[in-house]
Amino acid sequence: MSTNPTGRPPADLIAKAISAPLVRHVYTADPSAHVFEGRVYIYPSHDIEAGVPANDLGDQYAMEDYHVFRQDSPDSEAVDCGCVLHVRDVPWADRQMWAPDAAERDGRYYLYFPAKRADGLFQIGVACSDRPEGPFIAEPEPIRGSYSIDPAVFRDVDDAHYMVFGGVWGGQLQQYRDNQHSPLHAEPMGAAAALGPRIARLTEDMLQFAEAPRELRILDADGRALRADDHARRYFEGPWMHRHGGRYYLSYSTGNTHTLCYAIGDSPYGPFTWQGVLMTPVLGWTTHHSIVEFEGRWWLYYHDASLSEGVDHLRCIKCTELEHLPDGRIRTVHPYGPG
């Protein structure tokens, strides 16, 4: 989404937005929404101005804690439940508490989050609570075998839980092959297959991977893997999985082309066939979302940079209704109206 030469968004853009910011007293991004105990709980990033120069690795996104927000319904006020976890309370983490997610099992709540270790590598940790609003107590070590960013936990109909994760560039996914890290690895180029997100089933205690992460394949309509140079459709970051009509939907950000796309498969492990654009670009460089059902209606939670008038690392979470069409596709959302 472009801005004018002053660096601010066009004057009428914010007025056209289909959703107002859900939260105004702090900057929030990357909203993961879930229905727990009959209410919506949102687990976003907490953006701050840390004075770090911007770069393609995202060092300016220097978040250091998490707040949880509660809604009686998706169209009601979002109540700040306070700071539920800070980087200083995570023994293994050094900095950059990026996009989190949460899950519930047997009355226990789990907050999953990426953070950089002191050596600069991202891993994914977990913190636990007896309440969906926290506070959360972090496990002393990250999840064994975890790496990269953007954990999203999907609960299937058989009560199995899966974590989908991974982001390239600053998220470091391009440095991994077969779950092994090397700084010599780079993002694929040209006609090579694009990188896909990773998936791993969680153990019953929700604290570890029950299996080695595997790559999810995203295919075109002819069954070919999306190419690395297909920037309009290829995976970049921000995965989310939901189930509708007996099928599995994998949605994600394309990163440098600034859209949310989705693909459909018959299993959490895929393969997934690309279907279309879930949401067109928002104001700000990043786009990140979640999808949740509440009382029979579906909702898309997302963010833009309207509250800060276009500052990419100072964002605000938003929400709009999502429509699944009779043929299984999803109606594209235009965050500032059609046209």
CA dihedral defined by 272, 277, 278, 280, rounded to 10 degrees? 150
Name the residue among 133, 313, 164, 326 with its Cα closest to residue 250. 164
The contacts of residue 201 (CB under 8 Å, 6+ apart) are 160, 161, 162, 209, 210, 211
Among 30, 47, 150, 304, the one annotated catalytic:
30
Buried b (16+ CB within 10 A) or exposed e, 100-111: bbbbbeeeebbb
- Helix (H) / strand (E) element for 13: namely helix 13-16
Phi, psi of 56 (to 5 degrees): -70, -15
d(Cα 245, Cα 325) in Å, to the nearest integer? 11
Name the residue among 74, 9, 92 with its Cα closest to residue 283. 9
Q: Is 75 a catalytic residue?
A: no
Among 150, 237, 304, 312, the one annotated catalytic:
237
The contacts of residue 265 (CB under 8 Å, 6+ apart) are 247, 248, 250, 271, 272, 273
Q: Is 30 a catalytic residue?
A: yes
d(Cα 250, Cα 271) in Å, to the nearest integer? 10
Where in the sequence numbering do the catalytic residues fall?
Answer: 30, 237
